């Protein structure tokens, strides 16, 4: 399987650079097996899910933090810094830091950063940044460890709220605006830690949530903090040569109990689906080894005997052995054609970038759900029907049963 199998031509005018208002007016492409295609808007989602028999609608409640900083070098030049994750601990801990914190970052304008010092003054806050070590060193993957210092009572999250910018995806080809602080955030965002929005959730607004509730579909929540690796294109050559990024999941036993009470779940977004599937493989690995891996490796589903365990068996097992406390781990699993989806009966997702791992996931869902259409068939129809693509674009509902 070649990475070129997941490439397609996306005209620039089909990329949505701003969202629709209201959000629920976005188009929704409904795809049912084996070959039924229908066109709706997200306003129709409650009726579609009710007719489908959905009894559990899952969303990712991660919150995007303002991860882009424009600092001023002593020479007067601009240093653009994109925060990824703390070098120690998890994002929530780094954002709660007082006076100093060290993060793994990407840098633009760093080649001529000879003073290795930059600052930013705004909103009465003075923020400084220096290399974490004696000098600026590029890490594997092209990142840098940088230490940020400030004075005052504010935690780092508050500092970023005042000084940072929303980290819009590069394909939008524009600077973030004040409106993006609200628009590039789901209405159910709760736990800060993402540098990219779980974009399928951007179609929900308060009116749609109320309509879903009236249809008996209240949201169930989990958390996966989305990393910048979500925009990393597939490596050239075979798909199996691609190295997946790891993203942090945050769960507790109440989440598992809700999952166990449902039989026909629908996931909002690829990050939600990756989390739900990772729960299954964490159970399989623990039952086999007695240990919970800190990072669930990307090829675990293809190299591990599942011992005939069903998704419900996995939930029962975890409910029995998991401690009564928050459960956090990183998942690196890659969902590609040949993978069997176990956790859901439907997926709500956007239209994704060419040559992306997310297209591998969509293809796996279609094959797992017995569809006669390929992802390319569906994307060609969406392009012909003038659907809007990528983060601020329209979406689709893929039924797997």
Query: From CA 170, how far away is CA 162, in angstroms rounded?
Result: 22
- Residues 322, 325, 330, 331: is their CA dihedral positive or negative? positive
Average pLDDT estimate for 18-39: 97
The H or E element spanning position 64 is strand 62-64
The answer to whether residue 53 scores a pLDDT higher than 80 is yes
The H or E element spanning position 287 is helix 270-289
DSSP conformation class of 101:
E
The answer to whether residue 111 scores a pLDDT higher than 80 is no
Q: Which long-range contacts (CB under 8 A, 24 or more apart) does 180-183 make?
A: 181/66, 183/18, 183/19, 183/392
The answer to whether residue 277 scores a pLDDT higher than 80 is yes
Residue 326 pLDDT: 87
Q: Which residues, in sequence order, are CB contacts of 397 under 8 Å at separation 6+? A: 28, 29, 30, 31, 45, 48, 266, 346, 347, 348
Half-sphere exposure of 194 (CA within 13 A, CB side): 26
Query: From CA 80, how far away is CA 67, in angstroms rounded?
Result: 11
Confidence of residue 103 (pLDDT cuts 50, 70, 90): very high
**Predicted confidence (pLDDT) per residue in 240-267, tens digit:** 999 998 999 999 999 999 999 999 999 9
Residue 217 pLDDT: 94
In degrees, rounded to 5, the angle at the alpha carbon of residue 109 between the alpha carbons of residues 233 and 392 is 40
The H or E element spanning position 107 is strand 100-108
Query: From CA 30, how far away is CA 48, in angstroms rounded?
Result: 9
The answer to whether residue 82 scores a pLDDT higher than 80 is yes
CA 42 vs CA 22, 45, 48, 212: distances in Å: 10, 5, 10, 11
Mean pLDDT of the chain: 95
The secondary structure of 129-180 as a DSSP string is EEESSSS--BPTTS-EEEEEEE-SS-BHHHHHHHH-B----GGG-S---TTH
Beta strands 27-32 and 36-41, pairing class: antiparallel
**Predicted confidence (pLDDT) per residue in 136-150, tens digit:** 998 987 899 999 999
Query: From CA 141, how far away is CA 59, in angstroms rounded?
Result: 30
Residue 114 pLDDT: 83
Query: From CA 135, how far away is CA 144, in angstroms rounded?
Result: 10
Domain ranges of the chain: 3-64+183-399, 68-164
Q: Report the C-alpha dihedral over residues 172, 201, 356, 223, rounded to 10 degrees.
A: 120
Contact in structure between 311 and 267 (CB atoms under 8 Å): no
Q: Nearest to residue 357, comparing CAs of 268, 195, 227?
A: 227
**Predicted confidence (pLDDT) per residue in 284-320, tens digit:** 999 999 999 999 999 999 999 999 999 999 999 999 9
Contact in structure between 164 and 71 (CB atoms under 8 Å): no
Contact in structure between 343 and 256 (CB atoms under 8 Å): no
Confidence of residue 390 (pLDDT cuts 50, 70, 90): very high
Count how many residues are written for the chain: 401
Query: From CA 277, how far away is CA 162, in angstroms rounded?
Result: 37
More confident site: 75 or 314:
314
- The CATH number of 3-64+183-399, from 3.90.1300.10, 2.130.10.10, 3.40.1780.10, 3.40.50.1970, is 3.40.1780.10
Query: From CA 164, how far away is CA 55, in angstroms rounded?
Result: 39
Token digits of residue 164? 């940072």
**Predicted confidence (pLDDT) per residue in 154-213, tens digit:** 999 999 999 999 999 999 999 999 999 999 999 999 999 999 999 999 999 999 999 999
Would you put residue 204 in left (φ > 0), alpha (ψ -120 to 50) or beta?
beta
């Amino acid at each position: 399987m070649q990475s070129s199998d997941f490439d397609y031509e996306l005209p620039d005018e089909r990329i949505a650079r701003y969202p629709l208002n209201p959000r629920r007016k976005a188009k929704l492409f409904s795809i049912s097996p084996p070959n039924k295609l229908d066109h709706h808007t997200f306003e129709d989602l409650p009726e579609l899910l009710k007719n489908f028999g959905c009894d559990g609608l899952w969303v990712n409640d991660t919150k995007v933090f303002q991860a882009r900083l424009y600092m001023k070098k002593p020479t007067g030049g601009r240093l653009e810094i994109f925060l990824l994750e703390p070098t120690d601990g998890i994002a929530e801990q780094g954002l709660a830091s007082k006076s100093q914190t060290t993060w793994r970052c990407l840098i633009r304008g760093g080649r001529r950063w000879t003073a290795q010092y930059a600052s930013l003054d705004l909103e009465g806050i003075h923020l400084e940044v220096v290399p974490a070590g004696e000098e600026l060193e590029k890490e594997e993957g092209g990142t840098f460890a940088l230490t940020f210092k400030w004075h005052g009572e504010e935690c780092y999250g508050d500092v970023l709220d005042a000084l940072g910018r929303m980290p819009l995806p590069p394909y939008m080809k524009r600077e973030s605006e004040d409106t993006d602080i609200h628009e590039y955030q789901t209405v159910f965002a709760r736990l800060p830690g993402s540098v990219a929005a779980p974009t399928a959730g951007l179609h929900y607004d308060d009116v749609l949530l109320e309509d879903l509730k009236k249809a008996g579909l209240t949201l169930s929540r989990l958390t996966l903090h989305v990393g910048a690796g979500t925009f990393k294109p597939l490596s050239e050559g075979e798909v199996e040569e691609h190295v997946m990024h790891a993203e942090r999941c945050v769960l507790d036993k109440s989440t598992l109990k809700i999952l166990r009470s449902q039989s026909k779940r629908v996931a909002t977004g690829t990050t939600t689906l990756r989390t739900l599937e990772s729960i299954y493989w964490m159970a399989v690995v623990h039952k086999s080894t007695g240990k919970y891996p800190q990072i669930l490796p990307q090829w675990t589903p293809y190299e591990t005997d599942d011992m005939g365990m069903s998704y419900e068996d996995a939930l029962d097992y975890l409910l029995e052995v998991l401690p009564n406390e928050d459960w956090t781990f990183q998942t690196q699993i890659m969902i590609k054609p040949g993978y069997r989806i176990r956790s859901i009966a439907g997926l709500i997702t956007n239209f994704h970038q060419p040559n992306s791992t997310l297209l591998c996931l969509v293809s796996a869902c279609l094959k797992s759900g017995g569809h006669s259409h390929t992802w390319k068939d569906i994307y060609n129809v969406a392009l012909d029907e003038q659907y809007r693509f990528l983060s601020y674009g329209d979406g689709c509902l893929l039924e797997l049963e």
